[in-house]
Chain A
Amino acid sequence: MRCVVGIDLGSTTTKAIVLDEHGKIVGQGITNSRSNYEVACAVAREEAVTSTRFSLLERARAAHPDGESVKADMKELQKAFRLELFLEELKELSDTMLRELDRSLTQRALRSVLRPAAEKILERTRDQAPAQFLGDAPRRSDFFRDLASAAFNAGAEEAAKEGSAPFEPLIGLFDRAILQVETRVVKADTSTLLRRAVQRIPAASRDKLDAVVAEASKEPIDEISFTGTGYGRQTLPFPKSAIRSEILCHGRGAHRRFNGTRTVLDIGGQDTKGIQVDDRGVVTSFQMNDRCAAGCGRYLGYIADELGLGLHELGPLAMQHKRVLKVNSTCTVFAGAELRERLSLGQRREDVLAGLHRSIMLRAMSIIARSGGITDEFTFTGGVCKNEMATTMLRQLVAENYGSQITINIDPDSIYMGALGAALFALDDVREGRPAMLPAFVANAANITPPIDLESAAACVTEH
């Protein structure tokens, strides 16, 4: 399959989207952005390509005469595949950690204590992984760092309580190791992982699945063009010809997701954007928050810190308001002071929080007004659109200021809009005969992910 890739390097997460030649989304990937942007981009792209492979699998399954009978198994296969990825990654972490332990001079004295403790935690994490991935219970995060970190924290606490190993050195060891793992690009051997994943499917379905996998694996995934975008204040690790502005990408992506879109509001961690697009998704005007951070995601982060709450807890808490108190400070710093003063006056936390949410959305409304107001349809994207109080306030303010006839689109997956827009631009470039190539670090030297060699893959599984 010939396809194009769009990557959006954000301040907190990096996203990738793969489109086929017809502009259909066939793969998407996400990872946490980290100090090394190149790795973040490579990892997100790798994920998206793997996800593309599953799109091919799904197509092959649908085309297979017995396809319908293994529909459920395909879902299980995806879970199993993710589990295999996790285990692979865990092995990498384990190797790194033990190597680090051997190398570290400062921990020489503790080595005999730390090693068994670390091995115990790693082993238990490995043992618990199948239940975590194959079951139906939702995971707290899909990022390896989060999952491993949670497991290791719990394990280290336990070890400290038992007195088998001290907490700080154990966590320190983990931190050093995860940092190394995170900044390395390790190309996943999809074929091997896939074969292993198949082994986890009930034997009855395995043959049919094998056939589907065999069919889908024949096709190479050929990445023919690439566009990168991202959080503008950072340097993007892409060649200039392959970069498109995040504004253009967000506008285009949102328009692709909701075709009627004419106005886009994107509230991210670091900035707020009001974007107007035409009927083709081309940005016709845009405005961003100015120097001050008032009215972007960071404002809520600051408030959450001020109250000692998690960011995700703010919205639900604010939804319990009895009334929306008027909060005038849009300045991040003053808002904290105002919050403290109001709480000290005995005002309800929920009511003040509701006011703060209203205040941030008022700022956002100003930025939209600055960019030209709201024209039907209106699409809200970015991290803050997951906050229920924020969306409630937005709906209310849109109705008050632009009438209740405006269609408001909010998609929890809106985090991919930038990458989607970027991929569409990559497709434009292909059609204009000037595709930009993937940077080597992202593509790992070749732009073609070859068809899967099933025989040698099978051999790998056996050896394993």
Chain B
Amino acid sequence: MSENVEKDRSQVRQKQMIANHFERLSRAKEEGKKVVYTFVPGNLTELLGALDLLPVLPEINALQSGMRKKSGGYISAAEKAGHSEDVCTYVKCDVGMLKNGNFGPTGTKLPEPDLLLLSYTGCFTFMKWFEILKQEYKCPIVMLQVPYQSEGEITEEMRQYVAEQIRDVVVPALEQTAGKKLDMERLREQLRWSAKAEDDLVKVWESAKKRPSPIDGYFGGVHYVGPIFSSFRGSEEAALYYKELREEIEERVARGEGAMTPDGPQAKEKYRLVVEGPPNWTSFNDFWRMFSREGATVVASTYTRVGGLYDQGYRHSPDKPFESMADYALGCYTNLNLPSRVNLLEKYIKEYDADGFFINSVKSCNSFSVGQLLMLRELEKRTGKPGGFIESDLVDPRYFGKANIENRVQSYLQMLDARMNRPLVPGEGLPVALPVLGRAP
């Protein structure tokens, strides 16, 4: 989380988990392990785990490249190779990384995929992304179409469609790659661990309802959701991580400590915010500090829910494996229609007692961004809380104008301040017209 702050136990564990995973990946080919490239939204990690398949997540690689300041070069490489400047920079970052030897976040070369598992179609770009990878790798591809919750609910038709695809299309393809049959008991075991981790994660999220909030639910939050969004859900290790994390947070609450920031615990929680939209990864800590140094803590965010709306009751279930995985894929935050997203944000603003909300609108991600200006207005109308709005990007450093963004963030926080508690000098009519005098050089 930060350079100058002592790491918590959970952080140490997470770091070790990630290192182990990439270590396993680097040995995969020699050990005969099979590798599946797949996505975070709608991910079927428990299935992969039950079949001993190793996941690689191009999205995570792209965001890591962004944090390691590599994405700018990768994106340029992709654009030089003919990819449009208009489109998603995750895709271009991934393509550029591929063209530069496919070295992953830890610097080791990533193994080529044995299977491309397109686990989510709620983002159209994902389909294009894997079509592009399909052109690069000569391996099979399997797709799970995830219908959009256009009427604000998961219908039985949708659930059946997705569950049937998992059963009839995805599982056979995975079995083919793994070279063995799926053991349903192992799958159930994985799902049990998932549900356990999910219980603890919800407690972590909801700790932010306290004052002061012991966590930052956005900048800090993306670290907390790492294991459950990526390759570890369904493992005992991940469940342990979330247990440890929950205990640490409970200790913070007991000590009355504010949220952890890049500069240590938040001294005074001045503003409580809800944030919509993904973070920017190339200037992650700079962006965080624009808030934390002004005393703003994010108490809830929608980005941390793209990997599952656990706080709205969803759990993986060993009793209905395929149906619950279907509900998981269908229930991603960005698979909700706009009215549902507004409802959820409204709920967060109220339940977490926020002073305002802030939207980081990223160029790359139209499934997130389109409609956010309307959401802004709708939320202001419904909650009476002021909204802030900026534009940036996920991993394209050209789209993070630091001074410009800082200006807007500060304007927003000052506006919040002025609205919250400052008495003002009243206006006093027209000023006297004065001549301009003095020494203009």
Contact = CB atoms under 8 A, between A and B. Distances in A.
Please tell me whether chains A and B touch each other in their complex, using a CB distance cut-off of 8 A.
Answer: yes
B414 A248 contact: yes
Contact of B436 (A47, A233, A248, A284): A47
Interface in A86-133: 88-89
Contacts of A280: 424, 426-427
Interface string B390-409: 01000000010101101110
A50 B438 contact: yes
A370 B361 CA distance: 14
Interface residues of B, number: 40
B428 interface: yes
Contacts of B428: 22-24, 256
B101 interface: no
Top 7 A-B residue pairs of the complex, sorted by shortest distance between their CB atoms: A232-B407, A47-B438, A245-B411, A50-B438, A25-B431, A247-B411, A51-B437
A282 B438 contact: no
A285 B386 CA distance: 7
Nearest to B432: A25
A48 B380 CA distance: 40
Given A144-B440, A248-B415, A291-B391, A282 B424 contact: yes
B432 A24 contact: yes
A68 interface: no
Contact of A284 (B373, B377, B411, B419): B419
Nearest to A25: B431
A256 B431 contact: yes
Secondary structure call for the B interface:
loop
Interface of B: 373, 377, 380, 386-387, 389, 391, 399, 401, 403-404, 406-408, 410-411, 414-415, 418-419, 422-441
13 contacts: A24-B432, A26-B434, A78-B435, A85-B438, A85-B440, A142-B436, A142-B440, A232-B410, A247-B415, A248-B411, A282-B418, A286-B415, A288-B408
B142 to A, nearest CB: 38
Given A30-B436, A246-B411, A145 B431 contact: no
Interface string A370-381: 101000000000
A31 interface: yes
A152 interface: no
A287 interface: yes
Contact of B438 (A46, A285, A288): A46
A85 B387 CA distance: 48
Interface stretch (A160-168, A397-405, A423-431, A446-454): A423-431
Interface string A207-247: 00000000000000000000000001111000000001111
A283 interface: yes
A47 B386 CA distance: 38
Nearest to A273: B411
Contact of A29 (B411, B424, B438): B438
Interface of A: 22-32, 43, 46-51, 54-55, 78, 81-82, 85, 88-89, 142-145, 181-182, 188, 232-235, 244-248, 255-257, 259, 280-288, 290-291, 370, 372, 413, 420, 424, 427-428, 431-432
Contacts of B430: 257
Contacts of A428: 422-425
Nearest to A84: B439
Contact of A143 (B401, B425, B432, B440): B440
B415 A283 contact: yes
Contacts of A234: 403
B46 to A, nearest CB: 41
A88 B440 CA distance: 11
A43 B377 CA distance: 42
A145 B441 CA distance: 6
B399 to A, nearest CB: 7
Contact of A370 (B373, B408, B429): B373
Given A248-B418, A285-B380, A286-B415, A27 B434 contact: yes
Given A290-B391, A428-B424, A28 B415 contact: no
Contact of A55 (B373, B423, B426, B434): B434
A276 to B, nearest CB: 10
Contact of B440 (A47, A49, A257, A287): A47
A354 B428 CA distance: 38
B401 A182 contact: no
Contacts of A290: 391
Contact of A255 (B403, B418, B427, B437): B427
Contacts of A248: 411, 414-415, 418
Contacts of A55: 432, 434
Contacts of B418: 248, 282-283
A23 B437 CA distance: 20
Nearest to A22: B428
Contacts of B434: 25-28, 51, 54-55
Contacts of A181: 441
Given A25-B434, A232-B403, A428-B424, A245 B441 contact: no
B441 A182 contact: yes
B418 to A, nearest CB: 5
Contacts of B422: 282, 428, 432
Nearest to A232: B407
Nearest to B422: A428
B429 A259 contact: yes
Given A47-B440, A233-B407, A245-B407, A420 B425 contact: no
A283 B416 CA distance: 9
Contact of B437 (A47, A288, A420, A431): A47
B439 A144 contact: yes
Nearest to B440: A143
Contacts of B411: 232, 245-248, 283, 286
A46, A144, A247, A287 interface centre (most CB from chain B within 10 Å):
A247
Contacts of A282: 415, 418-419, 422, 424
A48 B429 CA distance: 21
Given A245-B407, A245-B410, A283-B415, A89 B427 contact: no
B387 A24 contact: no
A143 B441 contact: yes
Nearest to B417: A248
Given A82-B438, A89-B441, A248-B411, 10 more contacts: A25-B434, A31-B441, A43-B440, A50-B437, A85-B440, A248-B415, A257-B430, A282-B424, A287-B389, A290-B391
